[in-house]
Structure 1
Amino acid sequence: MLKVGVFGAGHLGKIHIQQWLEIPGIILVGFFDPNDDNAASAITQYQVKRYTNAEELIAASDALDIVTNTTSHFDIAKGCLLQSRHLFIEKPMTHTMEEARELVKLVSEANVKCQVGHVERYNPAMLALRHRKLEPMFIETHRLAQFNPRGTDVAVILDLMIHDIDIILHLVKSPVRRISASGVAVISDTADIANARIEFDNGCVANLTASRISLKKMRKMRLFQKDAYIGIDFLDKKTEIIRLKAEDEARGFFDFPIEIGEGKQKTISVETPDIRQVNAIKEELADFALSVLQDKPVTVSVYDGLHAMDVAHQILQKMIVQMNPERGDKEQVM
């Protein structure tokens, strides 16, 4: 059995508490949250123990789950890692790049498992492609959300776009060559809508758009690679694969021919893979627990989290220059 403690009982924290209670092999020892309203709500809903001393929660747990405001991630994580506790930490894993690099060092020194909560890796639409050969050369993403003041403690890049950044870096096994970006602050003090272009050494180009002031929600990614197009709808949990079939492949019922000139034909295959409907948060937490219990690598490591943060902060710096050209070179992204 794995004894787990949770830091944070806000909106997302309570979701994590609920999922931990449903995962086999887990003992949820309790949670820590200094906010009395959050704590009372969690106790009423889930009948879990509230710790008023963070050190006592760490001491009682084998692994800790950090679901607090991003600005507090590092200090809490450091306290856990100095006690050699396994760690699940929500994205973005820290507030600054300096903290992120220090966290990676602490994880290595503690020799524990640490997973970053990039939950879209576990989205059913993404899991349907787990065993497919994906080698995209052009990627387009749109992640649009309605305004919610709860997410404005960080820029839209670190709140929303970082999901797509992580997946793109996971798919494209190539160094980043160039980044360009632009953004507009409409409601909050930081950019509420942003666009970024990431160019990779292997020639792949990714075009990302994120907004938290949209009238409707959208979370879509389109992958274009040789002989194939893959559409991923993270919101509706649907995946579509359209590809050119090899000449020796049998034609299916939903396939159709196209003329490509000079009397030649190619066969287009349209496929919608079976989607296993799962709770993505429960999947990622259970996967982390299994990594600890079976001593195997985590799916989303601190190095993945650091890489995604690095690219996100480069995008932020490009936006600062674009939005404030007279002082962009002097301002430091935190």
Structure 2
Amino acid sequence: MEKIKVGVIGVGHLGLHHARIYSQLLEAELVGVYDIDQEKSQKVASDLGVKSFENLESLLTAVKAVSCVVPTSAHHQVTYEVLDRKIDCLLEKPIAQTVSQAQELIGLADKYKLIFQVGHIERFNPSVLTLKDLGVDLDPKFIETHRLAAFTERGTDVAVILDLMIHDIDLILSWVKSEIEEIQAVGISVVSEADDIANARITFKNGGVANITASRISPRPMRKLRIFQKDLYLSLDLLDKSMEVYKLVPTAMGNNPLLSEKNIVGKIPVEKIGKTVIYERPKIENQDMLTLELKSFLDCVKNRTKPLVSGVEAKKALEVALEIERKSQEHRKKLL
């Protein structure tokens, strides 16, 4: 099997893991890494037995694909240089700081027919992937998400909306097949200059509503979401990679002896309407999300197929995130 020559640009906290996983994947040959902090670059390269490149140009001449794991403020500049060299790219989220920057990167990738994937990693969460396997026809009427994390200086070059909330925005947009009608938002700056806690309420034209909360000053991490629709309630714990499913089905179906019992925890008859609530806890294989994401990227590079999260999907998430940020800033001005 011919291995894909890959490199990693930026080997900080997350980039280090990109490099480590690439070095272990059979599909990849990690050629080397580059970071503007040459001491860090050399340390990672030495640990993994690969080359530390002195500049971005020299790395790009040696690879077919890269992971770009640099601060958000450098996303557009660095990724543009990668794509302009006709190199396939996995860019960490968010795609860029502005929508116009995002569109420029998408246009360049399209021009050269490149694989351009954006790292909205929750799409590769085993709970989210299992949701696809359930064969459920999702038509959410209400979605509630809570994403809480302890404070670290990493990521504070942007507000919590672009740092954390954008993960849930991307998931919601992938599930709700409707345009947005209205966005309301509030945010509070606690320890940084930008919003550290934010809440947004998105109303869709089909009547669906999403209530999204994100905080990066929580003592305990949490990544939970709940989905409500007719005859179905789903509760996903993205941190524990678990799921609970409540389905309302005709009693005859619920009592069908051919119905698989392996995931069913309980049944609650609702006699007045002749239906039964079935409570399931699907078994979920605990897989590493970043490994799944990188393997998917390499598969796209090899087979020239569309990524699960392309630049187009990432731009949509950015547009919503920036509008939430704008609404939050408007609300903050009212408090002054």
TM-score class, shorter = over 0.9
The DSSP-based 3-state class of the residue aligned with 1:232 is: strand
Q: Does 1:280 align with 2:289?
A: yes
Whether contact under 8 Å (1:255, 1:267) holds in the other structure is: no
User: What does residue 293 of structure 1 align with?
Assistant: 302
Aligned pairs (5 A) from 1:1-334: 1-131=3-133, 132-133=135-136, 134-251=138-255, 254-259=265-270, 263-325=272-334
The DSSP-based 3-state class of the residue aligned with 1:149 is: coil
The DSSP-based 3-state class of the residue aligned with 1:273 is: coil
How far apart in 2 are the matches of 1:95 and 1:264?
52
Length-normalised TM-score, structure 1: 0.94
Whether contact under 8 Å (2:251, 2:274) holds in the other structure is: no
Structure 1 segments unaligned to the other structure (5+ residues): 328-334
| Deviations 1:64-115, CA, capped at 9 Å, x for gaps | 1100111111111111111111110000011222211211111111211110
Whether contact under 8 Å (2:33, 2:45) holds in the other structure is: no
How far apart in 2 are the matches of 1:41 and 1:226?
54
How far apart in 2 are the matches of 1:5 and 1:52?
13
The DSSP-based 3-state class of the residue aligned with 1:128 is: helix
| Deviations 1:161-185, CA, capped at 9 Å, x for gaps | 0000000000111111110000110
How far apart in 2 are the matches of 1:264 and 1:209?
36
Aligned residues: 325
2:321 partner amino acid: A
The DSSP-based 3-state class of the residue aligned with 1:291 is: helix
Whether contact under 8 Å (2:227, 2:234) holds in the other structure is: yes
CA deviation after TM superposition for structure 1 residue 47, in Å: 1.9
How far apart in 1 are the matches of 2:238 and 2:115?
27
How far apart in 1 are the matches of 2:8 and 2:38?
15
CA deviation after TM superposition for structure 1 residue 264, in Å: 4.2
Structure 2 segments unaligned to the other structure (5+ residues): 256-260
CA deviation after TM superposition for structure 1 residue 258, in Å: 3.9
CA deviation after TM superposition for structure 1 residue 245, in Å: 1.6
How far apart in 2 are the matches of 1:61 and 1:141?
39
The DSSP-based 3-state class of the residue aligned with 1:180 is: strand
2:93 partner amino acid: K
CA deviation after TM superposition for structure 1 residue 146, in Å: 0.6
How far apart in 1 are the matches of 2:42 and 2:32?
13
| Deviations 1:223-267, CA, capped at 9 Å, x for gaps | 00110100110111101101112233143564323446xx44431
RMSD over aligned CA atoms reads: 1.5
Length-normalised TM-score, structure 2: 0.93
User: Percent same amino acid at aligned positions?
Assistant: 40
How far apart in 1 are the matches of 2:208 and 2:273?
29
Whether contact under 8 Å (1:257, 1:265) holds in the other structure is: no
